[in-house]
Amino acid sequence: MNYLKWTLPVLIIASIAAYLWQGGDPASDVAAMPNSLDQSPSNSSARKFSAAKVKENAGNASMVAERLLQEANKIDVSNTDLPSSLRGTEVDGGFRVDDEGNLIVEIGIKRYFDYFMATVGEESLAEITARIHRSISTQLQEPARSQALAILQDYLSYKTALYELEQQYGEFNPMSFSESQIPQLTERLDAMFNARRAHMSDSVVEAFFAEEEAIDRYTLERLTVMHNSGLSEAEKANKMAQLEQMLPEHVREQRAEATQYQRYAAEEARLKNNNASPAEIHQLRAQEFGEEGAARLAALDEKRAAWDQRLQQYRAEKQQLEKSGLSEQDLGPQINELRARHFSEVEIRRVKALDRIADS
């Protein structure tokens, strides 16, 4: 079983959602490309994963999760280093309890699980599960401890079922999207929603996925409207506005802010391309974000310029070291010393990442 994909949620429409979030049409220039899903009626029927089918397969996924926990109990991770991708990072999410010691079910729990599960490939699933299990056991007292472990087992069951769904439906390529795939997207999304409810309680599903599911439903409806040839452009715009109300309020606010910033960024780029003066740039920023916002953006410009200057100086000196003929054994400490002269400890982690990208 390819567990690398198993760790990542199969967000059936997520890639399209990201595309649409910026107003794009994933089918606009790829209509001639082959669809990633076989659209023959026989194959579509064979792929169909109804709620009953999901329930029928739930037992197998639960057994896999139970075996993972049993295997994890045999692994001692107390003295082992974190995977390299997690070193220097802050743990995302966590656990909270109420006044009676019960676990508060919230999305922070899911983020905590996913933080560790993202390291599949560096560690085995059993080792990852052991890390989460140990964290729960050391951080929480009863009854919260047992409640968190039960949610972990249910989440592992769901992730296993999600992998099986991916095998059932195959890979999805948003760049080959066409209108004919909307029914299949609907089917896939329903299957994923059903799998969640087959393996986790309603309260956990609500806490973990309420916002995500609202966005997925919105995206699917938006695709349906966009590709409805029976609607005029005005009718589509009206329906799009109505669909916005499907989104949580804070998501609508984020979208509005993103649209405002995109509009501002395009206008600022136009002004700079036309050699606008600093006063003209400030005026645009003040109109969009107020005087305080304009001042913060100016300060950010200065900070970025100073960073760029330090980074360029570092890279020039690093290049000289690399050309100096030093052995690999001597070069590493010299570069580390160079980084320490130019950057803070926090900045060094960023510089190392930039160096890895530049060297790849």
- pLDDT the model gives residue 48: 45
Q: What are phi and psi of 327, to 5 degrees?
A: -70, 160
Per mean pLDDT, which of 28-32, 147-151, 261-265 is the most reliable? 147-151
Q: Is the pTM of this model over 0.75?
A: no
- pLDDT the model gives residue 221: 87
pLDDT above 70 covers a percentage of the chain that reads: 81
Structure tokens at 172: 């999805």
- pLDDT the model gives residue 177: 67
120: helix, coil or strand?
strand
- pLDDT the model gives residue 4: 35
| pLDDT tier at 358, thresholds 50, 70, 90 | confident
**When comparing pLDDT for 131 and 359, which is higher?**
131
Alpha helices in 106-181 (DSSP H): 107-117, 125-139, 144-169
CA 111 to each of CA 116, 155, 173: distance values in angstroms, whole numbers, following the listed order: 9, 12, 26
| pLDDT tier at 309, thresholds 50, 70, 90 | very high
Please give the Cα distance from 71 to 130 (Å, whole number).
8
Crossing angle for the helix pair 125-139 and 107-117, nearest 10 degrees? 140
Average pLDDT, integer, range 202-224: 90
| pLDDT tier at 173, thresholds 50, 70, 90 | low
For 25-61, the pLDDT digits (tens) are 333 322 222 222 222 333 333 344 445 555 555 567 7
Q: What are phi and psi of 103, to 5 degrees?
A: -65, 135
| pLDDT tier at 83, thresholds 50, 70, 90 | confident
Per mean pLDDT, which of 53-62, 142-151, 178-187, 275-284 is the most reliable? 142-151
Question: Residue 264: which residues within 8 A CB-CB, separation 6 or more?
Answer: 284, 285, 288, 289
Report DSSP state, residue 97.
B
For 222-253, the pLDDT digits (tens) are 888 888 888 898 898 888 888 888 787 877 77
CA 183 to each of CA 88, 117, 144: distance values in angstroms, whole numbers, following the listed order: 44, 31, 42
Crossing angle for the helix pair 278-322 and 345-359, nearest 10 degrees? 70
| pLDDT tier at 270, thresholds 50, 70, 90 | very high
Considering the chain, what is the average pLDDT of its residues? 80
Please give the Cα distance from 251 to 257 (Å, whole number).
10
| pLDDT tier at 360, thresholds 50, 70, 90 | low
Please give the Cα distance from 51 to 53 (Å, whole number).
5
**When comparing pLDDT for 25 and 337, which is higher?**
337
- pLDDT the model gives residue 226: 84
